[in-house]
Amino acid sequence: MKKTHHNIARRSITRHWLTNSLGAVTAVLLIIEVLLIFLMRNYYYSSARQYLTSRMKIVTTAIMNTSGEEQTNYNSQIRSIVESYEDKDKIELMAIKTNGEVDVTSSGFSPSGKDNMQDYIDAKKSETGTASQIYELETGEKVLALTSVISPKGSEYEAVRMLSSMKNVDNQLIMLTVIMTGVVLAIILLMLFSGLFFIKSIVIPIRNVNDVARKFATGDFRERIEKQRDDELGELCDSINYMAQELSNTEQMKNEFISSVSHELRTPLTAIKGWTETVTVMYEDEETFKKGMRVITSETERLSQMVEELLDFSRIQDNRLTLIMDTIDILAELTETVLIYQERARALGIKLDYYEPEMLSFVYGDKNRLRQVFINIVDNAIKYSDKGDTVSVEAYEEDGEICISISDTGIGISKEDLPKIKTKFFKANHTRRGSGIGLAVADEIIQRHGGTLDIDSEQGVGTTVMITLPCIEQKTKSDNGNNSTVNVELISTDPPKDQEDLAADEQKD
């Protein structure tokens, strides 16, 4: 079936070229050839008539020069001129009487009574007294006949007629026609072979592209297209190979994302199931019952947050999430985030330093989404740090922008993974919890606020995340300070938990 599809595609391209390109050129060449043959025939036949006319003028001039002689001598002079015509091997000269009969010829043979004398009839009707025609003799030979009326007074002859064979002219035309036809055929064949070679050079790579693309459609991204030339097809092969590599990376990240999310969902479900069974058996122990219910509530909340994150991921496809923009105190949101994680960092043996400025300018944005960014970055800094490491948070204003730096002395990110760290679903380290979409979401939120999120990291040394946001003075120039709701493609990260639950989650992981 696949082979048939390829053959149909190849025939379709070839048929398209034969119909639109070669067919059109062939038609034009044939039209030109027919026109040239017609023009050459007219030219050669006109030249033959002109030559015969010039020879006829010589004869009629000679006859008219003898018109003053006696009638007997005059008639005999005409017969003498006809009989002794010097070009009789090429042209047959005839003298026609007033009754329309041919009396004498230069060849000595009288024409058949069935001979076509239309030129003689036309000459008598013509004002110039001359007429010509081309016709075939009974032998099948084509001749050119030219009649000129003389009608001297008292003469028994009315006209003279010349016959010239067109065999040489027709042979010349046939030879030229054959030459032109050969040239046209050579051009057509040259175009045919060069065109088929060109089509083959296109069809074969396209067939390879089609085969590989079909494998891509089935999810097999291992195949690559061999680039044979540095032209448009070569660029297409490079683009498809690049697409396959990106699709393969995305497929791999998607699978890792599904695996990670499955693990993240299984962990709270396992805790809920275990504590439910414990509480069912030990419901009389009040302390155990309260602890179990607290864990169940905490894990249920965690599970709910994961489900909400997945729902947000679905909403991003439809662009249904929104930013609620307003004038906000960015310092208050950052400070609150640090306070949320201080107890958790202390419980994990991680030092959390916060260099709080006295004052920062207001920004125009969505406070909940910006807090979501801060929580995500600080949470990552703690998550990828070990006991004894330090997480530093610093905020300052520079050149009309709010700069927020969150750094840690944790495990860091390798040079190979750093360019992909903000890609959706990508996780540089699979030993730590998380779905792998937090940084991608954070970067998207900051971009929607007109800012930037840059990450600098070295494996084994630590990571620094720099967030910049425009101050309210700059935003009001373009937005006029109006509150608005903006549709954006965003997905949410985990909302903040209380300190006890965060520390408990980290210890479980």
Residue 313's pLDDT is what? 61
Tell me the two tokens of residue 263: 């693990």
Q: Could you give the CA distance from residue 231 to residue 247 in angstroms, rounded to a whole number?
A: 24
- Domain spans in the chain, listed from the N-terminal domain onward: 2-171, 308-508
pLDDT of residue 316: 58
Sequence-distant (≥ 6) Cβ neighbours of residue 291 within 8 angstroms = none
Q: Which candidate, 107, 115, 175, 121, places its Cα nearest to that of 143? A: 115
Distance CA 147, CA 125 (A): 12
Please check whether residue 160 is in contact with residue 144, taking contact to mean a CB–CB distance below 8 angstroms.
no
DSSP 170-208: HHHHHHHHHHHHHHHHHHHHHHHHHHHHHHHHHHHHHHH
Residue 224 one-letter amino acid: R
* Amino acid sitting at position 465: V
Record the tokens describing residue 129, joined without a space. 């007294």
* Other Cβ atoms closer than 10 A to 369: 25
pLDDT at 503: 42
To which residue do tokens 């703690």 refer?
Answer: 382
Secondary structure of residue 159 in the 3-state scheme: strand
Q: How far apart are CA 392 and CA 469, in angstroms?
A: 19
**E strand segments, 106-156:** 130-136, 142-149
Cα–Cα distance between 372 and 390 in angstroms, integer? 22
φ/ψ of 50, rounded to 5, equals -65, -40
Which superfamily does 308-508 belong to?
Histidine kinase-like ATPase, C-terminal domain (3.30.565.10)
Tens digit of each residue's pLDDT (9 = 90 or more) over 448-486: 899 999 999 999 899 999 999 999 865 544 454 444 333
pLDDT along the chain (509 residues), means of 10: 46 71 88 94 93 91 71 78 88 88 84 79 90 87 91 76 91 94 92 82 80 83 79 83 83 74 78 86 81 85 71 64 86 92 91 92 91 89 92 93 94 86 66 64 85 92 94 58 38 38 42
In sequence order, which residues have a C-beta less than 8 Å from that of residue 233 and are 6 or more positions away?
202, 205, 206
Beta-carbon neighbour count of residue 274 at 10 Å? 14
Q: What's the pLDDT score for residue 5?
A: 47
Alpha carbon distance 406, 134 (integer Å): 105
Whole-angstrom Cα distance, residue 84 to residue 375?
126
Which two structure tokens, joined as six digits, stand for 267? 């962990």
Instruction: Report the C-alpha gap between 206 and 13 in whole angstroms.
Output: 11
According to CATH, the topology of domain 2-171 is Beta-Lactamase (3.30.450)
